[in-house]
């Protein structure tokens, strides 16, 4: 089978973090602008027959998965016969990610270190977003003045491979390669320690101008009009292929299949529905707390306005009551603040789940709540007026709070009368006063 020089493959069999349908859409757009078609490679195990369909193949940060010896053999043969591999790693290298991209690159003089580049002086806001300004003279880096090597490791370059970019003196580790290229047979292997430098919507990602320029320069250098293979692949006599790779670790992960993907989708859908339900419950609880707080504020205001109607002993008890109400108000305000924080965290989780859902070929159509703080129907309020006249009414929170406050004042007056603090005439006079206020509220409601 001959190759299609207009196709670029992005492997996903090794649980790669970089995906063209989620966080690598900007990179895909750049490549498609150069007349390439981008596809995910999900056929397992990786075979030469699959590989030779593509002009370029990306491995964008495999995660906790290792290539099998026969897959590494197929990849090396693909390169030797004219293909291009672009291998993107992450901070910690193969050891940190529990992968074995180095089993491919080692055959070409490149390996990944178990480290992370940090630069406290030259960076994009964080020392883990170092700016790289030291470059080799190479077409891939034409007109590139700096790049952001976001959360990446360094490389070891030997045996004829070329180091393209280096960390600064101020970096840790200093003066180490972070990008390299090697020619193997008729093809090329290009490696860098940062897959995040091509990610969407992150500082120092694909939107950083020089990071995008590297991609454009790379395409020009590889000459997209050149076909990898025009005949079925055979090993040329003058391009020996490394055969002694039997010691490479085999893949410890399970063989990707449809059943596994469906299970993951179902689990994500369950989590999504649970988070939506929790968000709805928090919204309802927040409305209840806000209503209670309105009542508490109104009670405190009514008590303070009517302190003159009480003798000293009654005022003492009212002050105790007011302090209690203030304490409840503070507690409920703290709870609302906590609920708002939890709501924010849940929304972040929903965002991450939505991001994960995009990695599957059949996106979930999970039910979404249409409620929002402005569309949740108002609560029906049972008011204190029902206790007085046995009539069903719906009052606004302010009137409800005022009625409840007056009823509580009447209860305090009754207690004062029963304890001998108020005389019968005093009790009758004050009670009539507050009952008139209650009646006025009912008439104007």
Please state, in angstroms and as integers, the Cα–Cα distance from residue 213 to each residue in 6, 147, 187, 302, 319, following that order. Answer: 20, 9, 22, 69, 71
Same domain, yes or no, for 93 and 222? yes
Does 239 have pLDDT greater than 60? no
Does 372 have pLDDT greater than 50? no
- List of long-range contacts for 40-43, beta carbons under 8 Å, 24+ apart: 40/9, 40/10, 40/11, 40/12, 41/9, 41/10, 41/11, 41/12, 41/13, 42/12, 42/13, 42/256, 43/13
Last residue of a domain, one of 224, 255, 286: 255
Evaluate the omega torsion of the peptide bond into residue 225 and state whether it is cis, within 30 degrees of 0.
no
- 292 band by pLDDT with thresholds 50, 70 and 90: low
Of residues 241 and 203, the one with the higher pLDDT is 203
Question: Quick one: average pLDDT of 5-20?
Answer: 92
The predicted pLDDT at position 386 comes to 47
The predicted pLDDT at position 25 comes to 94
Same domain, yes or no, for 429 and 384? yes
Q: What is the DSSP string of 48-63?
A: HHHHTTEEEEEEE---
The predicted pLDDT at position 403 comes to 79
Does 325 have pLDDT greater than 50? yes
Note down the domain range covering 311: 259-444
Does 313 have pLDDT greater than 80? no
The predicted pLDDT at position 8 comes to 95
Over residues 145-175, the pLDDT tens digits come to 999 999 999 999 998 899 999 999 999 999 9
Total tally of structural domains belonging to the chain: 2
Same domain, yes or no, for 116 and 192? yes
Same domain, yes or no, for 337 and 354? yes
Relative to beta strand 54-60, strand 4-11 is: parallel
Report DSSP state, residue 165: E
The predicted pLDDT at position 1 comes to 35
Last residue of a domain, one of 240, 255, 270: 255
Last residue of a domain, one of 199, 222, 255: 255
Same domain, yes or no, for 162 and 288? no
Same domain, yes or no, for 288 and 431? yes
Contact 141, 104 (CB under 8 A): no
The predicted pLDDT at position 422 comes to 84
CATH of the domain at 201: 3.40.50.880
- 354 band by pLDDT with thresholds 50, 70 and 90: low
Same domain, yes or no, for 248 and 276? no
Question: Quick one: average pLDDT of 184-198?
Answer: 95
Same domain, yes or no, for 102 and 166? yes
Question: Quick one: average pLDDT of 190-198?
Answer: 96
Does 427 have pLDDT greater than 80? yes
Same domain, yes or no, for 334 and 221? no
Same domain, yes or no, for 246 and 295? no
Question: Quick one: average pLDDT of 221-231?
Answer: 54
Question: Quick one: average pLDDT of 35-40?
Answer: 93
What does pLDDT average to over the chain?
78
Please state, in angstroms and as integers, the Cα–Cα distance from residue 433 to each residue in 11, 305, 386, 413, 440, following that order. Answer: 82, 14, 20, 12, 11
Same domain, yes or no, for 51 and 182? yes
Lowest mean pLDDT among 97-101, 190-194, 251-255, 327-331: 251-255
Beta bridge partners of 192: 88, 179
Question: Quick one: average pLDDT of 166-188?
Answer: 95
- 405 band by pLDDT with thresholds 50, 70 and 90: confident
Does 250 have pLDDT greater than 70? no
Does 38 have pLDDT greater than 60? yes
Helix (H, G, I), strand (E, B) or coil at 435: helix
Same domain, yes or no, for 205 and 354? no
Question: Quick one: average pLDDT of 362-383?
Answer: 40
Does 338 have pLDDT greater than 80? no
Give me the phi and psi of 231, to 5 degrees please.
Answer: -130, 165
The predicted pLDDT at position 287 comes to 64
């Amino acid at each position: 089978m001959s190759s299609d020089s207009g196709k670029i493959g992005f492997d996903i069999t090794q649980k790669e973090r970089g995906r063209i349908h989620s966080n690598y859409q900007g990179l895909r757009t750049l490549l498609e602008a150069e007349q390439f078609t981008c596809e995910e490679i999900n056929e397992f195990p990786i075979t030469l027959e699959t590989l030779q369909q593509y002009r370029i193949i990306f491995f964008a940060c495999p995660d906790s998965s290792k290539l099998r010896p026969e897959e590494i053999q197929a990849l090396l043969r693909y390169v030797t016969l004219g293909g291009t591999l672009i291998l993107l790693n992450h901070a910690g290298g193969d050891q940190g990610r529990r992968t074995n991209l180095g089993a491919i690159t080692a055959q070409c003089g490149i390996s990944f270190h178990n480290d992370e580049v940090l630069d406290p002086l030259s960076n994009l806001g964080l020392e883990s977003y170092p700016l790289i300004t030291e470059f080799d003279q190479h077409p891939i880096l034409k007109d590139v003045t700096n790049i952001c090597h976001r959360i990446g490791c360094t490389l070891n370059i030997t045996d004829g491979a070329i180091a393209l970019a280096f960390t600064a003196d101020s970096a840790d580790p200093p003066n180490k390669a972070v990008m390299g290229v090697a020619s193997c047979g008729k093809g090329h292997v290009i490696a860098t320690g940062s897959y995040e430098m091509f990610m969407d919507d992150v500082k120092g990602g694909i939107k950083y101008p020089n990071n995008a320029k590297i991609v454009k320069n790379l395409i020009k250098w590889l000459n997209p009009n050149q076909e990898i293979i025009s005949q079925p692949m055979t090993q040329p006599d003058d391009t020996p292929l490394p055969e002694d790779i039997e010691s490479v670790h085999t893949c410890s992960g399970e063989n990707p299949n449809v059943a596994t993907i469906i299970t993951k989708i179902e689990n994500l859908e369950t989590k999504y529905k649970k988070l939506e339900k929790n968000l709805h419950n928090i919204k309802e609880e927040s409305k209840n707390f806000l209503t209670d707080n309105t009542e508490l504020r109104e009670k405190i205001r009514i008590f303070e306005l009517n302190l003159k109607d009480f003798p000293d002993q009654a005022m003492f008890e009212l002050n105790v009551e007011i302090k209690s109400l203030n304490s409840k108000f503070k507690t409920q305000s703290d709870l609302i603040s906590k609920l708002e924080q939890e709501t924010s965290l849940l929304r972040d989780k929903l965002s991450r789940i939505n991001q994960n859902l995009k990695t599957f070929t059949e996106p979930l159509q999970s039910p979404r709540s249409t409620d929002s703080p402005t569309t949740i129907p108002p609560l029906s309020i049972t008011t204190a007026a029902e206790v007085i006249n046995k009539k069903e009414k719906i009052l606004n929170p302010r009137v409800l709070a005022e009625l409840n406050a007056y009823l509580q004042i009447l209860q305090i007056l009754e207690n004062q009368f029963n304890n001998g603090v108020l005389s019968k005439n005093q009790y009758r006079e004050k009670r009539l006063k507050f009952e008139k206020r209650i009646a006025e509220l009912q008439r104007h409601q």
